């Protein structure tokens, strides 16, 4: 089993080599990492170590592929190598830029990663079979990504159309349910010897029935940030009658928009381009591309009016990338006159009363603005 720590690491590679693999998405930060990492490290970094150490996964042929996402994750990689030598650890040097040179460099990194995996896990297929297998794995993962994207609840499904339609995964009743489905599908990926139909079935079977549909005609927000730790934040938003138009997070849309070029050529180069050029995360130093992606989410039809009433930005505590980007996003949004709410916390953040109080206040602000805008439009209509 191989666990990966970053959405820039292509799961196609281990899957093509016959190694069950999934993204490591801890459910909490745990306490097992406390004596290895400083207290001002983010909950995800701590959660990764805790999850691996808490015995929640078997160490037999367990591998963890760590990307150089940030200073904290570099140290997580060091801790794994030093203090958990029975775990196979791999480091992926993900560039912070997206140009041709960076793609070419990353292709080399991915090729080396494949060779390292093949050397570490018995039974890897011969190298001549890799392109074909990688292509197949990419196709299978593409099915899952598309299925997840089409399962995202639209305003129509929120008004009672949930679960209907000829789609590989039933459309979710709420974004909370969609995030839980995301987790379930990720878990299903690691089922050995299965493919997309089994994965989708496994994910559907654990679909939560505890979440209630979001209220129609509620103020709608874009939920964004560096990493949405768990489903409690969307649950808190929806409990406070805030609709979520899109989720821009590592655990969200931008990880699902991976497009592998159909052109002939080196498969590693194509994988590198597909991953490095997916909608960027705050960790990449390509802020203009980040802003373009944000605008795509705010103005999906390219119109002048934003399709959302505001933005909620979630930062895991001590995430430098999120902290810095949140200020940029706040400034960008001020150009469009859109309200912004910064939430900063740990796992389970959405369960706190304080969070609910802040969200309720934000909803009231959005409703008041909606009322003012409606009145202004009505006045304008009367004039014309």
Partner 1 sequence: MKSESGNVRRLKLARLFLANHLTYFLARLALGPLGRRLRSYQKVAVRGILSELHAAFSGEKPVILASAFVPTELIYGLGAIPVLPEVWSGFAAAAGFSAPAVTASEGSGYSQDLCSFHRCSLGLENLELLPKPAAVIVSSHLCDGGRCSLYRHSRSFGCPFYVLDVPYAATPDGVAWLAHQLERVAQDLVLKVPGLSLAGLPKALAAANRARSEYLAVCRLRRNQPAPWAGSEALNYVAVFLSGWGSPWLPEFYAQLRTHLEETIRLGAFPVSDERHRLLWLNLRPYYSSSIFRYLEKECNTSIAFEEYSHLYWPPHRPDAWAESLAAKLLSHFGWGPIERRLETIWNLVQEYGIDGVVQFNQWGCRQSNGGGRFLADFLRERGVPFLELAGDGVDGRSSGTAQQLTRIAAFVELLDARNTPSPARGTKAIPR
Q: Which residues bind partner 1 (CB under 8 A)?
A: 35-38, 40-41, 68, 70-72, 74-75, 78-79, 81-82, 91, 93, 95-97, 101-102, 104-105, 108, 285, 287, 315, 317-318, 320-321, 323-328, 330, 342, 344
CA dihedral 237, 322, 279, 102 (to 10 degrees): -170
In the complex, the smallest distance separating the C-beta of residue 15 from partner 1, rounded to whole angstroms, is 24
Q: How far is the CB of 138 from partner 1 (least distance, A)?
A: 24
DSSP H/E element including 104: helix 100-120
Distance CA 281, CA 353 (A): 29
Q: Which is nearer to partner 1, 184 or 333 (CB)?
A: 333
Comparing CA positions, the residue from 189, 140, 144, 142 lying closest to residue 169 is 144
Q: Which is nearer to partner 1, 30 or 153 (CB)?
A: 30
Contacts 24+ apart (CB under 8 A), 259-266: 260/138, 260/142, 266/107
Least distance from partner 1 to the Cβ atom of residue 37, Å: 7
How far is the C-alpha of 296 from the C-alpha of 231, rounded, in Å?
Answer: 24
- For partner 1, the closer of residues 218 and 343 by Cβ is 343
- At closest approach, how far in Å is the CB of 36 from partner 1? 5
Residues 6+ apart with CB under 8 A from 4: 11, 14, 21, 22, 23, 24, 64, 65, 67
**Of 298, 303, 261, nearest in space to 278 by CA:** 261
Residue closer to partner 1, measured from CB, 121 or 324? 324
Rank residues 107 and 256 by Cβ distance to partner 1 and give the closer one: 107
Six-digit token string for 212: 């209630």
Question: Which residue, chain included where needed, has tokens 């709608």?
Answer: 220
Which one, 36 or 183, has the nearer CB to partner 1?
36
**What is the nearest approach in angstroms of partner 1 to the Cβ of residue 66?**
11
In angstroms, what is the minimal distance from the CB of 228 to partner 1?
18
Q: What backbone phi and psi angles, to 5 degrees, belong to 15?
A: -65, -40
């Amino acid at each position: 089993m191989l666990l990966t720590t970053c959405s820039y690491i292509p799961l196609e590679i281990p899957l093509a080599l016959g190694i069950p693999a999934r993204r490591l998405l801890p459910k909490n930060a745990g306490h097992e990492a406390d004596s290895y990492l400083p207290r001002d490290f983010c909950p995800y970094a701590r959660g990764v170590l805790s999850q691996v150490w808490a015995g929640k996964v078997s160490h037999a042929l367990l591998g963890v592929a760590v990307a150089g996402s940030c200073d904290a994750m570099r140290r997580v990689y060091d801790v794994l190598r030093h203090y958990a030598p029975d775990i196979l650890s791999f480091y992926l040097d993900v560039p912070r830029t997206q140009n041709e040179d960076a793609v070419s460099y990353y292709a080399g990194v991915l090729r080396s990663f494949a060779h390292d995996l093949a050397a570490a896990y018995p039974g890897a297929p011969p190298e001549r079979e890799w392109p074909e297998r990688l292509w197949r794995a990419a196709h299978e993962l593409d099915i899952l990504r598309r299925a997840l994207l089409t399962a995202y609840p639209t305003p129509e499904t929120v008004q009672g159309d949930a679960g209907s339609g000829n789609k590989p995964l039933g459309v979710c009743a709420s974004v909370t349910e969609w995030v839980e489905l995301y987790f379930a599908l990720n878990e299903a990926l690691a089922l050995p010897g299965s493919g997309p139909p089994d994965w989708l079935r496994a994910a559907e079977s654990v679909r939560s029935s505890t979440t209630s549909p979001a209220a129609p005609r509620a103020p709608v927000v874009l939920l964004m940030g560096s990493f949405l730790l768990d489903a409690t934040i969307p649950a808190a938003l929806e409990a406070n009658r805030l609709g979520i138009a899109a989720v821009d997070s590592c655990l969200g849309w931008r990880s699902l928009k991976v497009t592998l070029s159909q052109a002939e050529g080196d498969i590693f180069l194509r994988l590198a381009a597909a991953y490095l050029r997916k909608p960027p995360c705050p960790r990449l130093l390509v802020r203009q591309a980040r802003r373009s992606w944000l605008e795509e989410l705010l103005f999906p039809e390219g119109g002048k009016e934003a399709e959302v009433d505001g933005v909620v930005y979630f930062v895991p505590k001590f995430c430098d990338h999120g902290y810095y980007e949140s200020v940029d996003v706040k400034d960008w949004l001020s150009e469009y006159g859109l309200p912004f709410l910064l939430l900063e916390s740990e796992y389970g953040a959405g369960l706190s009363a304080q969070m609910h109080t802040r969200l309720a206040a934000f909803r009231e602000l959005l409703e008041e603005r909606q009322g003012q805008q409606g009145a202004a439009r009505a006045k304008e209509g009367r004039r014309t």
